Amino acid sequence: MTTLAFTSTLSRPERATAATVRGAVAGAGLLVTVVLIGVGAFLAVAGWPGLTASSSELPLGASNFWALAAPLVFGSVWSAVLAVLIAVPAAVGVALYVTWFAPRAVAGFLAALVDVLAAVPSVVYGLWGLMALAPGLAPVYAWLGEHLGWFPLFAGQPSATGRTIATGALVLAIMIMPIIAAMCREVFQRTPRASIEAAQGLGATRWEVIRLAVLPFARGGIICGAMLGLGRALGETMAIAMVVSPAPFLIGFSVITSANPNTVAAFIAQVFPEAHDVEVSALIGLGLAMFLITFIVNACARRVARIYGEPR
């Protein structure tokens, strides 16, 4: 036993490589952290002058920042909520069809087809919504205004171009439906076999199996998907900017007129290219407000997911 059994450390170059790799990946992690925290801090600093700006400095000659922000935040939330109300039932139906009703052989293909809807760029949705969907819907709005004008949603002079918030919300709904459907599909597929077989063993029809075993199990996933869709709809810019014809400072619930509330994101995109000085700060302040709203919505989605033990 004269020599040591082994050299207890690695060679110098090997240790150097190990340290370099460790440093590089930890550095990347740290960089991501700094940048991400920086985004929030930086927006707050850059947006600050806008929050206290006077009327003469603000876009549209708004009396103060909050008078500018309130109608836009309303528009964002209103259009996103409408979109979610349209998209959730459709998404649940689509997901149910793909998992339970479609022939096995084509189910995968149909699911992929739905995902294609999610991949279409928003500017293309904007172009299509504006030039194809809106003119198509204009007669519908005219009919609604004529026959259901007493109902607050359909009050006012119907838009002749169809470029209303209803069209915008419909486009948003088409955009977020695949996101919600993907989430629903995932939870539908993970319904415990035992529950399904228990229901089938009791002689349940296909729909009864779905109602008794599948839907109760999937409730959390559906809510989570709806929240994720809401977050996405709130931040969507181009579709609304191109499709909806906005009126300044408007807060209103009619969805078929040519005077519509604008959204934060669309407003920024429309005004930014010509904005300068404090106007830019005000727009950044608006962006920050929207970031906070989407953050809260997404945090709620994660909370729901955790309560119900769903993925993500």
In one-letter notation, the amino acid at residue 200 is: Q
Near another protein by CB under 8 A: residue from 97, 217, 249, 308: 97
CB 134 to another protein: min, Å? 12
Nearer to another protein, 138 or 177 (CB): 177
Cβ-contact 224, 305 below 8 angstroms: yes
Minimal distance in Å, beta carbon 117 to another protein? 5
Decide: is 123 part of the binding site for another protein (CB under 8 A): yes
Token pair 């029809």 is found at 205
Residue 36 binds another protein (CB under 8 A): yes
Residues that bind another protein (rule: CB under 8 A) add up to a total of 103
The residues, ordered by sequence, that sit 6+ positions from 90 with a Cβ below 8 Å of its Cβ are 173, 177, 181
Stretch that binds another protein, among 139-147, 152-160, 174-182, 244-252 (CB under 8 A): 174-182
Instruction: State the Cα–Cα distance between residues 52 and 185, nearest whole angstrom.
Output: 47
| Least gap, CB of 153 to another protein (angstroms) | 21
The strand ranges marked E within 173-240 are: none
Binding to another protein (CB under 8 A) within 146-165 occurs at none
**Span from 51-59, 95-103, 158-166, 194-202 in contact with another protein (CB under 8 A):** 95-103
The verdict on 106 binding another protein (CB under 8 A) reads no
Q: Which stretch binds another protein (CB under 8 A): 64-72, 155-163, 187-195, 289-297?
A: 289-297
Q: Which stretch binds another protein (CB under 8 A): 4-12, 65-73, 77-85, 151-159?
A: 4-12
- Measure the CA–CA gap between 90 and 133, rounded to whole angstroms: 18
| 285 vs 42: CA distance, rounded Å | 11
Cα–Cα distance, 190 to 296 (Å, whole number):
28
List the one residue out of 8, 15, 290, 256 whose CA is nearest residue 139: 256
Under 8 Å between Cβ of 240 and 145: no
Residue 300, interface with another protein (CB under 8 A)? Answer: no
Q: Which of 242, 244, 255, 282 binds another protein (CB under 8 A)?
A: 242
56 scored as a contact of another protein (CB under 8 A): no
158 DSSP β-pair partners: 257
Q: How far is the CB of 157 from another protein (least distance, A)?
A: 25
As measured in angstroms, the least distance from the Cβ of 207 to another protein is 4
- Closest approach of Cβ 16 to another protein, in Å? 10
Based on the shown chain and the rule CB under 8 A, indicate whether residue 206 belongs to the binding site for another protein: yes
Surface-to-core class of residue 29, CB atoms within 10 Å of its CB (0-12 exposed, 13-18 middle, 19+ buried)? exposed
Tokens of 302: 């994660």
Site for another protein in 268-287 (CB under 8 A): 268-269, 272-273, 276, 280, 283-284, 287
What HEC string does 62-105 produce? CCCHHHHHHHHHHHHHHHHHHHHHHHHHHHHHHHHHHHHHCCHH
Selected binder of another protein within 74, 78, 125, 141 (CB under 8 A): 125
**In the complex, least distance from residue 254 CB atom to another protein, rounded to whole angstroms:** 24
**How many angstroms separate the Cα of 16 from the Cα of each of 6, 10, 23, 25, 31?**
20, 10, 10, 14, 22
12 counts as binding another protein under rule CB under 8 A: no
Q: Minimal distance in Å, beta carbon 25 to another protein?
A: 4
In the DSSP assignment, the letter for residue 262 is -
Is the CB of 74 or the CB of 125 nearer to another protein?
125
